[in-house]
Amino acid sequence: MAASATGSRDTGPAAAADDRWRWFRGQAFWLVAPALLLLVVCLGLPLAIVTLRSFSEPQWGWQNYVWFFGTPVNLTVLQRTFAISAWVTLVCLIAGYPYAYVMTVVGPKMRLVLILCVLVPFWVSGVVRTLAWVILLQDSGVINSVIRSVGLGPVKLIRTQTGVVIGMAQVLLPFMILPLYSVMKAIDLRLLQAARSLGASPARAFAQVYLPLSLPGVYAGAIIVFILALGFYITPALLGGPRSTMLSTLIQNQVLSLLNWGRGGAMGVVLLIATFVLLALAAPLSRQPHKTGSRR
Amino acid sequence: MKLPGRILLGLFCLLVAVWLIAPTIVVVPMSFNDKKSLAFPPSGFSWQWYQNFFTNPEWSASLVSSLKVAVVTAVFATIIGTLAAFGLDRMKSRVSGVLRALLITPMVVPGVVLAVGIYAVYLDTQLVGTMTGFVMAHTMLAVPFVIIAVSASLEVFDKRLETAAASLGATQLTAFRTVTLPLIAPGILSGLLFAFVTSFDEIIVALFITSPYLKTLPVQIFSSITRDADPTVAAVGTLLFIATSLVIGAGLLIGSRQGKR
């Protein structure tokens, strides 16, 4: 709080230059204050308590972390959580990149249709959507009937990692497509024509001109998908089986079923740290679109 | 691009589009199932699951709770978020950058970790299963969406328009009311909608802080799915889909009419 207060005072000289805004700038911090207060009470305090309990229950010390990293099952689940998130990110990227590109080149009517397809998943409650995936993926489900009709044996999808990845990627795909699209629509397609006219093959024009320009969107989409995937709870809980349990399910189990706040808290802190380390590592990459944007 | 490549790309996009909307489509026929099963395609037609949704007090009570929580949340989140977006817009960019990053952290904090923490706080303060508890948690989760939506329209808003209004003799408040507010209203409105949907659809925190007396719709859906194969869930999903389509359709219609003017 203290740092932000001095920060708003720092704006003083800048405000003097633009006299009209002085009043507003003086108030700027107070406009943000209610949001910050809410954040401290409903986010800061809960996370502080989770962290505290991971060290204090049942007695003070590192015991819960020693237990977490000393139990092979936990490490398997931790590794699996990262693996599933990576797969989901990859699937979203492969499906989302061409889709976002097509959104930028089609006519306005077709674009509206494509945008609607991205937004429709948001219209149906997340839990209901997961139910739909249960219906689609079950052993006697639609996907398996299609596979069987081409003459292939039934594929086990429900309660497998593949099923979890398919369901999660569908939920997260819009988070990949939307940043990709917002970056791609700003790319001047005449640059590609210029590259072609200078003798570049289509593949080379793509790889050397389009791809680098679209990378900020790729980074932004991949980071948000990966991070959201790490914390997924509902989809793995309903679509997955014991062999596709993710960290969130273990945390829920420790706290609600076993009433072990210490161990659940330690797992939560591990997941939280993983999330923020990733964000910190990725921040310079994802800030790129901002830089290119501010050149205007 | 050559024609075969275009066709291939088109087919790929079609496939992705189907993948995106398949789960929405599949829920609709399930809701008219004549048997209490989730086998697809359903074997017969009936309205009984819709009837069940509206007559079974468990379902209707959870719908009412969800609507109440979401409406109050949307109002609070829109006010708090819009104020914050204005504040951030008026700040020095370095300070606002840090604050902005801080304010949108609820979007990236893993849901279960947050839920466990909130549950701990609420157990100590007797907020478990209360309207206040739900609204506080959901408002915190919804504010980032409002900030993003309003900031986006503030970013494209040309501040010289306010200066122009002032040079024509408008007071700061008049300029704000007659120039700024109408121009960023779409941002505020979409923030409001996002906030409503965030609360209405929120499940992870809700699962932890719910009680038999206050259950939101997603919690009811979740417990129904984990309990048995009840097509009422599909009926709820279909109703939600229709309701959202109507709201968004109306929004698009108003938007296009304003565009024509």
ipTM of model: 0.87
For residue A65, what pLDDT is reported? 96
What is the number of CB-based contacts under 8 A between chain A and chain B?
266
Query: CB-CB: which of A11, A131, A261 is closest to B225?
Result: A131
DSSP A44: I
| Token representation of residue B248 | 């968004």
CB atoms B140 and A43 under 8 Å: yes
The distance from CA A241 to its chain's CA centroid, rounded to whole angstroms, is: 23
For residue A280, what pLDDT is reported? 87
pLDDT band at A32 (very low <50, low <70, confident <90, very high): very high
Distance CA(A143)–CA(B22), nearest Å, equals: 11
- Which DSSP helix (H) or strand (E) runs through B209? helix B204-209
Percentage of chain B surpassing pLDDT 90? 49
Question: Tens of pLDDT along B104-141?
Answer: 999 989 999 999 999 999 999 999 999 999 999 999 99
Measured between CA atoms, the residue of chain A closest to residue B232 is A128
Q: Among the CATH numbers 3.10.20.600, 1.10.150.20, 1.10.3720.10, 1.10.600.10, which is that of A62-293?
A: 1.10.3720.10
CB atoms B88 and A142 under 8 Å: no
Cis peptide before A58 (omega within 30 of 0): yes
Query: CB-CB: which of B121, B197, B225 is closest to A49?
Result: B121
Query: CB-CB: which of B10, B140, B201 is closest to A42?
Result: B140
Distance CA(A26)–CA(A19), nearest Å, equals: 11
- Among candidate residues A240, A225, A243, the one with its CA nearest the CA of residue B107: A225
Cis peptide before A46 (omega within 30 of 0): no
CB atoms A233 and B112 under 8 Å: yes
Q: In order of start, what are the domains of chain B with their CATH numbers?
A: 57-256 (1.10.3720.10)
pLDDT band at B25 (very low <50, low <70, confident <90, very high): confident
Query: CB-CB: which of A4, A117, A227 is closest to B99?
Result: A4
Block residue for tokens 């917002």 = A182
Q: Which residues of B touch A45 (CB under 8 A)?
A: 117, 121
Contacts of residue B41, defined as CB under 8 A and 6 or more positions apart, other chains included, come to B29
Is pLDDT of A5 > 50? no
- Note whether B87 contacts A: Cβ–Cβ < 8 A: yes
For residue B142, what pLDDT is reported? 96
Distance CA(A270)–CA(A62), nearest Å, equals: 13
Is pLDDT of A288 > 60? no
- Among candidate residues A242, A239, A237, the one with its CA nearest the CA of residue A252: A237
CB atoms A272 and B110 under 8 Å: yes
Kindly report whether the global pTM for this prediction surpasses the value 0.95. no
For residue A10, what pLDDT is reported? 45
Mean pLDDT of chain A: 85
Query: CB-CB: which of B12, B112, B200 is closest to A252?
Result: B112
- Note whether B255 contacts A: Cβ–Cβ < 8 A: no
pLDDT band at A22 (very low <50, low <70, confident <90, very high): low
What average pLDDT score do residues A35-63 get? 94
Block residue for tokens 């209490």 = B36
Is pLDDT of A6 > 80? no
CB atoms B117 and A14 under 8 Å: no
pLDDT band at A292 (very low <50, low <70, confident <90, very high): very low
For residue A101, what pLDDT is reported? 93
- Note whether B4 contacts A: Cβ–Cβ < 8 A: no
CB atoms B91 and A125 under 8 Å: no
CB atoms A53 and B244 under 8 Å: no
| Token representation of residue B164 | 């122009």
